[in-house]
Structure 1
Amino acid sequence: MSAPAEVRQRTSFYPIIVAVFCGLLLISNVAAVKAIQIGDLTFDGGAVLFPLTYVLGDVLAEIYGFKKAKLAIWTGFALGALASLCFWLVDALPAPPEYGMSEDFHNVLGFVPGIVLASLAAYLAGQFLNSWVLVKIKERTKEGKLWARLLGSTYAGQLVDTLVFCFLATTIGPIPSELFWNYFIVGYIFKCAVETIMLPVTYRVIAAIKKREPDYRPA
């Protein structure tokens, strides 16, 4: 007895990739609250996972094109804004006097307008540029030179992302202005290094999904 048509039909990986993309973004935004210092180098905790959103951004743009990549980016933006709004509301509501965790919640997840604005603005600018550059390079290279698309788009996107975040966070946010260059240089180099190190993994992920993605059409 043959399987039903809906079982035999291959399903798209797009929703799964978008879900992981948005999850990494939200986790990174929370982790960014903590500053990390190693020797003379200072960067925010979001740098640990946030570079992976660019890896997945590359996967989305490479396989599904700019239109669907934009949808994922806007979805991540909406969820990030919703999370910030939720944290602000919960922080503003009163807690029982005997509940001793309110101050801890405020210190970790309290709404900081400058940081929220810097994070959301940097995310939009960087991710849109990342996807746009990848698609434009692909129009010229077709299926060849994948490494040029992945690295070129990430280096451009991360440059704008890191620059916008550091500028806003040190001008209207709580980060001291004298840390601008430290945050910018260390953050940019670290994020680009993660993308470069992850390149072999990204290659394999893209190749595997292209073979199994029913909606993929070679350029």
Structure 2
Amino acid sequence: MKTLLGSELRIAHRIYLVLAALFICSLVVSNLIFQKFFYWNPLGLFNFEISVGLLPYPITFLITDLVSEIYGRRKANDLVLAGIFASFFSLGIIYVANAAPATGFSPIQDDTFTRVFGATAIAVISSMLAYLFAQFVDIQIYHFWKRLTKGKMLWLRNNASTVFSQFVDTMCVLLLLCFNEVIAWEQFWPLLGAGFLFKVLVALIDTPFLYLGVYVFRNIFKLEIGQEIKID
């Protein structure tokens, strides 16, 4: 653990705040847009039918892996807790907005607003329960592999932690949504397979970005392989 002082400490704090902002934004937005589903067929190999809420979601796992690698487990856990608080806070705002009656000249009337955001409460609660478990699993597995490889083989701990935790997240949130009748049970296995495969693909794609981020951090703060920084 490297203790920073002066300008280096201020830079580290600012970068952490930027990462936290991106993390929270990605998490909250994913819960707001989840009801739209789309299809994607890369190179004609497989037809994904998944929620657009999955598009920003993998970003959260990339950021927690980056924070875990540079700032350590505790700061990564702090990020997760902040994201959960922000999600429930946004849920409260949506609840109040949904309860407020629309005026006659409002472009969006009550029925339209309720149709778009009406299932958000169940979705957010279901997503948060699954997400809380999956993110902490991701952080624990990441640091397990980091200790085991003595800070080397970054690609292994990134993908091993993300792939397993993404499967846990996808399965848990779909189970909760099916139990609450937000989606039909016959959609469970197709959505589980497509969602998990999509997340595995994204996990492989984001590995170079993690390497780039770690490389930049190590050069800015002159860190050795596996070394973390302390910003408290």
Which residues of structure 1 form unaligned runs of 5+?
none
CA contact (8 A) 1:122 1:165 kept: yes
CA contact (8 A) 2:174 2:192 kept: yes
Q: Which residue in 1 is equivalent to 2:175?
A: 167
For residues 85-96 of structure 1, the aligned pairs below 5 Å read: 85-96=92-103
Q: Which residue in 1 is equivalent to 2:217?
A: 209
For residues 60-75 of structure 1, the aligned pairs below 5 Å read: 60-75=67-82
CA contact (8 A) 1:158 1:188 kept: yes
Q: What is the alpha-carbon distance in structure 1 between the residues aligned to residue 204 and residue 165 of structure 2?
A: 14
Q: What is the alpha-carbon distance in structure 1 between the residues aligned to residue 213 and residue 66 of structure 2?
A: 8
C-alpha deviation, 1:95, in angstroms: 1.8
CA contact (8 A) 1:41 1:182 kept: no
Q: Aligned to 1:62, what secondary structure does the other structure show?
A: helix
CA contact (8 A) 2:31 2:120 kept: no
Q: Which residue in 2 is equivalent to 1:14?
A: 16
C-alpha deviation, 1:19, in angstroms: 1.1
- Residue 187 of structure 1 aligns with an amino acid whose one-letter code is G
CA contact (8 A) 1:11 1:214 kept: no
Q: What is the alpha-carbon distance in structure 2 between the residues aligned to residue 14 and residue 60 of structure 1?
A: 8
Q: What is the alpha-carbon distance in structure 1 between the residues aligned to residue 145 and residue 67 of structure 2?
A: 15
C-alpha deviation, 1:143, in angstroms: 1.9
CA contact (8 A) 1:91 1:106 kept: yes
Sequence identity (%): 26
CA contact (8 A) 1:113 1:173 kept: no
Q: What is the alpha-carbon distance in structure 1 between the residues aligned to residue 30 and residue 156 of structure 2?
A: 26
Cα distance change of structure 1 residues 104 and 186 upon mapping to structure 2, 3 Å threshold: same
- Residue 33 of structure 2 aligns with an amino acid whose one-letter code is A
Cα distance change of structure 1 residues 25 and 114 upon mapping to structure 2, 3 Å threshold: same
Q: Which residue in 2 is equivalent to 1:186?
A: 194
Larger mean CA deviation between 21-30 and 64-73 belongs to 21-30
> Please, which of 123, 132, 142 is the counterpart of residue 115 of structure 1?
123
> Please, which of 142, 162, 166 is the counterpart of residue 134 of structure 1?
142
TM-score computed with the length of structure 1 as normaliser: 0.89
Q: Which residue in 1 is equivalent to 2:66?
A: 59
1:19-48 per-residue CA deviation (whole Å, 9 max, x = no partner) reads: 111111112222212122458642111111
Q: Aligned to 1:11, what secondary structure does the other structure show?
A: helix
Q: What is the alpha-carbon distance in structure 2 between the residues aligned to residue 213 and residue 77 of structure 1?
A: 30
CA contact (8 A) 2:8 2:221 kept: no
Which residues of structure 2 form unaligned runs of 5+?
42-46
Cα distance change of structure 1 residues 16 and 171 upon mapping to structure 2, 3 Å threshold: same
CA contact (8 A) 1:147 1:199 kept: yes
C-alpha deviation, 1:7, in angstroms: 5.5
Q: What is the alpha-carbon distance in structure 2 between the residues aligned to residue 59 and residue 77 of structure 1?
A: 19
Q: Which residue in 2 is equivalent to 1:124?
A: 132
Q: How many residues align?
A: 215
Structure 1 segments of 4 or more deviating over 6 A? 214-217
C-alpha deviation, 1:80, in angstroms: 0.7
CA contact (8 A) 2:27 2:60 kept: yes
Q: Which residue in 1 is equivalent to 2:30?
A: 28
CA contact (8 A) 1:126 1:161 kept: yes
